[in-house]
Structure 1
Amino acid sequence: MNHEVILTCAVTGAGDTVGRHPAIPVTPRQIADAAIEAARAGATVAHCHVRDPATGKASRDPALYRELVEHIRAAGVDIILNLTAGMGGDLQIGAGEQPLQFGPGTDLVGPLERLVHVEELRPEICTLDCGTLNFGDGDFIYVSTPAQLRAGAARIQQLGIKPELEVFDTGHLWFAKQLLTEGLLDAPPLFQLCLGIPWGAPADTTTMKAMVDSLPAGAQWAGFGIGRQQMPMVAQAVLLGGNVRVGLEDNLYLDKGVFASNGALVERARQLVELMGARVLTPAEGRRKLGLPARGGKE
């Protein structure tokens, strides 16, 4: 069991959730305010995507990330900043017998273009999605090939940013370990076990434990489940020695029929951790645990 837990809040994500919740953060200011809310509720880390303010759809516009980060950094709250680098991997295969007629949901760019905002803004952590995945029903695929991952990992390493290795299935974990073997990741690596996303690894005890048992020695890790499995996977991750993630990216409800806020989800997860006899680390403590520089660059 982990008695000193890093709690990440994933505040908005890239999913098509705007019409399914009355208060999904959309503008850079709203997303920044959600991260600040999570920090004040006790989160250690804020994991952030941006959205097009006009449509609410996912975006990778560096200007939106810049505005988001400036708001957070000007707020006077302490939070470890984790920016996604997963945008730019969406491929909508053409329907039926026309697979090469890619659909309007396609946004496919190279591995370095996915890191433009990371290179400019230098968050403490950025994500690296460690493999290709059938993403939900239909014809959507998230594309992250071995060659793309090697190039992205090498650039993140050059920038001195800690990658959070997002693994959605066991093959992703296998390849992430290969990156470590090849020297493209600095030890100790940080893994995020992403469970319950169709059609990746399911959110259940057996799957999480199997993935944890396959982690390299000394690895740092967290795990989460989506939807109604969010809080059960908080408890499961803590029991198996890991850290946790909650937030509106992964789950829209606090209770059945009750819409959540990021702050409420952080508070619920923190209470659960504490009832288990553990505690949530502050951002300063989280930096020490993850081997990140102290705020302001002072050790």
Structure 2
Amino acid sequence: MKHEVIVTCALTGAGDTTGKSGFVPISPAQIAASAVEAANAGAAVVHIHVRDLDTGQGSRDVALYRETVRRVRDSGVDVVLNLTAGMGGDLVLDEEDPLKPVDGTDLVNAADRLPHVEELLPDICTLDCGSLNFGEGHQLYVSTPDMLRAGAKRIQELGVKPELEIFDTGQLWFATKMIAEGLIDAPPLFQLCMGIPYGAPAEPALLQTMVKMLPENAQWASFAIGRDQMPWVAQSALLGGHVRVGLEDNLYLSKGVKATNGQLVERAVGILENLGATIATPDQARTQLNLKGAARAEAH
């Protein structure tokens, strides 16, 4: 088991969860406050999406990212910033005419998924490493090999660490190919995403298999959604990985009890400490992940 475990808190996501829990943050002020709460509870990293203020749905609005990041940086709380760059990959098809996209489609090229990363230069941004049948119906997440190469190259030029989001074994295969092609700087950072329909199921044996497929020098974390979130904290740590919790992936502290991000981080920290792990500080996370953004954060 890794001695110093990095806890990431995924604060809000882009899913249709705001009507299911009043604790899911929507506005930049709410998201930033939730980031501070998570950091004070022990999260070294916060993973940030933003949401449209009118609809509560996920957004790519750079102004919303700008305000959220400013508020976190101005809070005086030290935390590593991880901004999603996965928005802009949604394709919803018409049942009768599959060549016709319908409402819910938000599909842009690799460059148009990164303007907030280019402006704000976070420590980390995500790179979703393949296409996926995303749940039921006619929705797909689209991220082709050439899109990924273009995105990885631009992220590398910016000096931002890509978190390679892996939803299935084929995506892991392609991510290792990008590493071999020199598009990902060492050490590569993987996030193994389990239980999202219809990617890799939340099966411990499958997690172990995926971990064995990782490059030898990889830093990695894993999470599972819903009721599997807290068991997965232990699964990941015992296999030598870091962990992720948060309202993006799970709304409950226990059956029928809605959680805040801070409470989910506190629960994860307790599990890790009971296993004998030390909770990594933001500076320890920066060192382990070889992040280049510390000086930029200080400049802001």
Alignment-derived partner of residue 13 in structure 1: 13
**Contact 1:188/1:218 (<8 A) preserved:** yes
Query: What do residues 217-265 of structure 1 show as CA deviations (whole Å, max 9, x unaligned)?
Result: 1100000000000011110000000000000000000000000100000
Deviation, 1:295, is 3.5
Query: What do residues 62-116 of structure 1 show as CA deviations (whole Å, max 9, x unaligned)?
Result: 0100010010010000000000000000000112x32122121000000011000
Amino acid at match of 1:128: L
Query: What do residues 172-197 of structure 1 show as CA deviations (whole Å, max 9, x unaligned)?
Result: 00000000011111111000000000
Greater displacement, 101-110 / 246-255: 101-110
**Contact 2:18/2:56 (<8 A) preserved:** yes
Amino acid at match of 1:274: E
Percent identity between matched residues is: 63
Query: How far apart in 2 are the matches of 1:80 and 1:48?
Result: 11
Deviation, 1:294, is 7.3
Aligned residues: 297
Q: Please give the residue correspondences for 1:184-195 in structure 2 after superposition, counting only pairs within 5 Å.
A: 184-195=183-194
Amino acid at match of 2:155: I
**Contact 1:224/1:244 (<8 A) preserved:** yes
Query: How far apart in 2 are the matches of 1:91 and 1:43?
Result: 33
Query: How far apart in 2 are the matches of 1:198 and 1:124?
Result: 29
Amino acid at match of 1:283: P
Say if 2:57 is the partner of 1:53: no
| Deviating 4+ runs (over 3 angstroms) | 293-298
DSSP-derived class of the 2:157 partner: helix
Amino acid at match of 1:48: I
Alignment-derived partner of residue 94 in structure 1: 94
Query: How far apart in 1 are the matches of 2:210 and 2:186?
Result: 18
Query: How far apart in 1 are the matches of 2:78 and 2:8?
Result: 13
Amino acid at match of 1:235: A
Query: How far apart in 2 are the matches of 1:294 and 1:157?
Result: 12
Alignment-derived partner of residue 159 in structure 1: 158
Deviation, 1:138, is 0.7
Alignment-derived partner of residue 35 in structure 1: 35
Query: What do residues 144-172 of structure 1 show as CA deviations (whole Å, max 9, x unaligned)?
Result: 00000000000000001000000000000
Q: Please give the residue correspondences for 1:77-226 in structure 2 after superposition, counting only pairs within 5 Å.
A: 77-95=77-95, 97-226=96-225
- The answer for unaligned runs of 5 or more in structure 1 is none
- The answer for unaligned runs of 5 or more in structure 2 is none
Greater displacement, 279-288 / 81-90: 279-288
Deviation, 1:22, is 1.7
DSSP-derived class of the 2:244 partner: strand
**Contact 2:28/2:50 (<8 A) preserved:** yes
RMSD: 1.0
Query: Compared with structure 1, are the counterparts of its residues 294 and 135 closer, same or farther at alpha carbon in structure 2 (3 Å cutoff)?
Result: closer
Greater displacement, 285-294 / 173-182: 285-294
Deviation, 1:6, is 0.3
Query: How far apart in 1 are the matches of 2:200 and 2:270?
Result: 27
DSSP-derived class of the 1:19 partner: coil
Alignment-derived partner of residue 252 in structure 1: 251
Query: How far apart in 2 are the matches of 1:29 and 1:109?
Result: 27
Alignment-derived partner of residue 284 in structure 1: 283
Deviation, 1:275, is 0.2
Deviation, 1:123, is 0.1
DSSP-derived class of the 2:99 partner: coil
Query: What do residues 251-286 of structure 1 show as CA deviations (whole Å, max 9, x unaligned)?
Result: 000000000100000000000000001111010111
**Contact 1:288/1:294 (<8 A) preserved:** no
Say if 2:57 is the partner of 1:76: no
Alignment-derived partner of residue 64 in structure 1: 64
Query: How far apart in 2 are the matches of 1:69 and 1:58?
Result: 16
Query: How far apart in 2 are the matches of 1:216 and 1:83?
Result: 24
**Contact 2:125/2:160 (<8 A) preserved:** yes
Query: How far apart in 1 are the matches of 2:174 and 2:72?
Result: 33
